[in-house]
């Protein structure tokens, strides 16, 4: 799966080595300064375009490359193609603008194997605000792919990770569910880091006559969610659209929550329709998986299948608890196929998952329950 990267152990006394690639001198300085304030990082170099970056990678041996998309001579997408051929294990974080061109290029980069992305702050008005935005977004997105000395890993797999921590305790058994479960009437999916690739596996695997509506929260900013919906629609047998206020929730259609809006549901006159709002972020997210899952429970009760796919953090855990208590089925992606096992891992460790499946098996598990 493109973008799948085992968490890498950073040995005591070492730091995460970063190569900053951007044609803007200002951005290179901002990123360097923001990362240098965190003792976990060492910025080992910078480059103004992809060609220079490719020449410096073997010299500097970075753990991470932050890669601008739009650059002269060799842009970020072409650079990424070369990196994935020559350095398949190198972590790459794309830098994108909040524009249509930036959104489409970012999705292309994720499909080509970029591990994650951050959006460039625009018109923020001050250096301090720009720095704060970089620290809050870029640093966690890099750290999720590494195991730092003395810190609990967000995702740890492989021999290095196993030797770096005690053997994990057995996973808790699923909590008892109601003896009689309702037939599912809706599928609700929550996903974050690695989501576009994960959804591109799950959604196209659903048949054209899929009998339930599908509701999706993918942590992405505005514009990005619309282009994600269009990309999925082009390769899927069910309809896939970005949700709009008042849109009908119906069988055989997948609705993706728009960036910066929570997606909720409301039933009226026998129909279920979408309600969008810009209420406070939950788990630092808007849209939030928890918000959607709670609303699904209010409208459908336990007649639902909740699916938690790859992602950083724990968004979706509380909502899954609410759904499971009402009798909903819960499917979680397994650790081996997750880019980051934060969200599904939290659900599994809480004993909420009825099924723990590889990404390739998620659609099959959904169909079994349907």
Q: 178-197, pLDDT tens digit by residue? A: 546 889 999 999 999 999 99
**Quick check: 120 pLDDT over 50?**
yes
CA angle 274, 289, 201 (to 5 degrees): 95
Domain boundaries, the chain: 8-150, 187-369
Which of the residues 219, 290, 334, 337 is marked catalytic? 219
82 is an active site residue: no
**Residue entry with tokens 């890993």:** 153
Residue 265's φ and ψ, nearest 5 degrees, are -125, 155
pLDDT at site 124: 53
pLDDT at site 272: 98
Residue range 161-179, pLDDT digits in tens: 333 333 343 444 444 545 4
Domains 8-150 and 187-369 share a fold: yes
| Helix, strand, or coil (residue 341) | strand
Question: What CATH class does 8-150 carry?
Answer: alpha beta
Mean pLDDT of 328-338: 97
| CA gap 49, 29 in Å, rounded | 15
Closest by Cα among 81, 109, 66 to 231: 109
Q: What CA–CA distances, in Å, run from 291 to 83, 276, 282, 323, 353?
A: 38, 11, 8, 12, 19
Mean pLDDT of the chain: 89
Residue range 202-227, pLDDT digits in tens: 999 999 999 999 999 999 999 999 99
Which of the residues 68, 290, 315, 354 is marked catalytic? 315
Mean pLDDT of 142-149: 90
Which of the residues 192, 288, 326, 337 is marked catalytic? 192
262 is an active site residue: no
**Residue entry with tokens 């891992």:** 345
Confidence category of residue 160, pLDDT binned at 50, 70, 90:
very low
Confidence category of residue 49, pLDDT binned at 50, 70, 90:
very high
Confidence category of residue 33, pLDDT binned at 50, 70, 90:
very high
* Helix orientation angle between 342-349 and 317-325, rounded to the nearest 10 degrees: 40
Q: What CA–CA distances, in Å, run from 222 to 78, 290, 343?
A: 25, 19, 22
Q: In CATH terms, is domain 187-369 a member of 3.40.50.180?
A: yes
33 is an active site residue: no
| CA gap 231, 236 in Å, rounded | 9
Tell me the DSSP string of 347-362. HHHTT--SEEE-HHHH
CA atoms within 13 A on the CB side of 310: 28
């Amino acid at each position: 799966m493109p973008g799948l990267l085992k968490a890498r152990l950073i040995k005591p006394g070492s730091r995460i080595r970063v190569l900053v690639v951007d044609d803007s001198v200002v951005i290179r300085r901002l990123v360097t300064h923001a990362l240098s304030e965190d003792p976990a990082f060492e910025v080992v170099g910078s480059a103004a375009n992809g060609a220079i970056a490719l020449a410096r990678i073997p010299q500097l041996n970075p753990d991470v490359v932050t890669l601008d998309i739009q650059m002269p001579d060799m842009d970020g997408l072409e650079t990424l193609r070369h990196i994935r051929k020559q350095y398949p294990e190198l972590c790459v974080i794309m830098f994108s603008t909040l524009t249509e061109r930036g959104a489409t290029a970012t999705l292309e980069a994720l499909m080509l194997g970029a591990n994650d992305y951050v959006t460039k702050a625009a018109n923020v008005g001050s250096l301090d605000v720009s720095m704060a935005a970089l620290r809050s977004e870029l640093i966690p997105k890099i750290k999720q792919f590494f195991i730092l000395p003395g810190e609990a890993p967000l995702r740890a797999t492989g021999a290095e990770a196993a030797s770096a921590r005690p053997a994990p305790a057995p996973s808790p058994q699923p909590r008892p569910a109601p003896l009689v479960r309702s037939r599912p009437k809706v599928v609700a999916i929550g996903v974050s880091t690695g989501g576009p690739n994960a959804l591109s596996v799950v959604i196209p695997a659903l048949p054209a006559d899929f009998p339930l509506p599908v509701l999706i929260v993918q942590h992405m900013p505005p514009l990005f969610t619309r282009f994600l919906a269009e990309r999925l629609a082009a390769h899927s047998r069910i309809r896939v659209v970005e949700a709009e206020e008042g849109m009908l929730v119906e069988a055989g259609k997948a609705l993706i929550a728009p960036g910066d809006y929570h997606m909720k549901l409301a039933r009226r006159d026998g129909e279920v329709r979408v309600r969008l709002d810009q209420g406070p972020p939950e788990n630092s997210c808007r849209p939030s998986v928890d918000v959607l899952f709670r609303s699904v429970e209010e409208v459908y009760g336990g007649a639902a299948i909740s699916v938690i796919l790859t992602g950083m953090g724990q968004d979706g855990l509380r909502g899954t608890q609410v759904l499971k208590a009402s009798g909903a089925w819960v499917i979680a992606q397994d650790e081996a196929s997750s880019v980051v096992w934060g969200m599904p891992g939290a659900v599994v460790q809480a004993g909420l998952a009825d099924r723990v499946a590889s990404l390739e098996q998620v659609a099959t598990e959904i169909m079994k329950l349907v």
